[in-house]
Chain A
Amino acid sequence: DGGITQSPKYLFRKEGQNVTLSCEQNLNHDAMYWYRQDPGQGLRLIYYSQIVNDFQKGDIAEGYSVSREKKESFPLTVTSAQKNPTAFYLCASSEQGPHEQYFGPGTRLTVT
């Protein structure tokens, strides 16, 4: 079964704690992305990676970090420096270049 998995589906953390969201894909895609979705706003790009061991900041990278050590995995860490971390986080992947993006089921993070 090909696709993108994100875990966990729901995540609760206390303010000041770092938290890591998992994203795995078995589509053999080179490119992977992290988006954030807030109520009433469109999706905003946090980080993207076009190839293993390389990644770039998106539009709202402050307070987030990523790694891309394996082709199939692109974990996102939400650090304590992120001012408003409560949101719905979506991971996506695609072939390199302007190709169709495929999304995972999302992780809803709540920080109190």
Chain B
Amino acid sequence: KQEVTQIPAALSVPEGENLVLNCSFTDSAIYNLQWFRQDPGKGLTSLLLIQSSQREQTSGRLNASLDKSSGRSTLYIAASQPGDSATYLCAVYPIKAAGNKLTFGGGTRVLVKP
């Protein structure tokens, strides 16, 4: 059974510092991996989706890498801002699961201090 882990569960950084968020998964047989942002009491906003054949994906200050063989993905946020404070979740599409069953990590809660 696929398991997704995000460590640490919470992270606090001063404004301007680069953020590094980790996601690990136990089964490398995935179609893709998706990173989301969630603000308190809100739904999830999709940030980046990396296909299993890709090594990284970039959008503005965000860069996500994928190392399928080691079961890891990292989300980098450059020059963090207080507006980046949120919970970040990663999720994988396992190939073996029936239907489009995303498996989610528990999330990393980020606080960027001004």
A27 to B48: give the CA distance in the assembly, Å. 19
Closest to B95 in A: A98
Q: Mark B93-106, 1 if CB is under 8 A from A, else 0.
A: 10000111110111
Does A100 reach chain B (CB closer than 8 Å)? yes
Say yes or no: B43 contacts A106, CB within 8 Å. yes
| Partner among A33, A43, A105 whose Cβ is within 8 Å of the Cβ of B100 | A33
Is A42's beta carbon under 8 Å from chain B? yes
- Chain A's interface: helix, strand, loop or mixed, by majority? strand
Set of chain B residues within 8 Å of A31, measured between Cβ atoms? 100
Partner of A101, one of B98, B102, B106: B102
Instruction: Give the residues in chain B near A4, CB-CB below 8 Å.
Output: 43
Q: Which of these, B4, B42, B43, B100, contacts A98 with CB under 8 Å? A: B100
Say if the beta carbon of A103 comes within 8 Å of chain B: yes
B51's closest neighbor in chain A, by CB? A98
For residue A108, which residues in chain B have a CB less than 8 angstroms away from its CB?
Answer: 41
Query: Which of B32, B44, B101, B106 lies in contact with A103, CB distance below 8 A?
Result: B44
Residues of A within 8 A of B46 (CB): 100-103
CB under 8 Å from chain B, chain A span 24-56: 31, 33, 40-43, 45, 48, 50, 56
A45-B101 in contact (CB<8A): yes
Chain B 46-64: CB-based contact to A (< 8 A → 1; otherwise 0): 1001000000000000000
Interface residues of A in 77-100 (CB under 8 A from B): 88, 90, 92, 94, 96-100
- Indicate if the CB atoms of B99 and A48 lie closer than 8 Å: yes
Of residues 20 through 48 on chain B, the ones whose CB sits less than 8 Å from some CB of chain A are 31-32, 34, 36, 41-46
- A58 CB within 8 Å of chain B: yes
**Cβ of B34 and Cβ of A43 under 8 Å apart?**
no
Report A100 CB to chain B, min CB distance, Å: 5
Q: Does A104 contact B (CB under 8 A)?
A: yes
9 contacting pairs across A/B (C-beta < 8 A): A42-B104, A43-B44, A45-B101, A48-B100, A56-B99, A58-B101, A99-B100, A101-B102, A103-B45
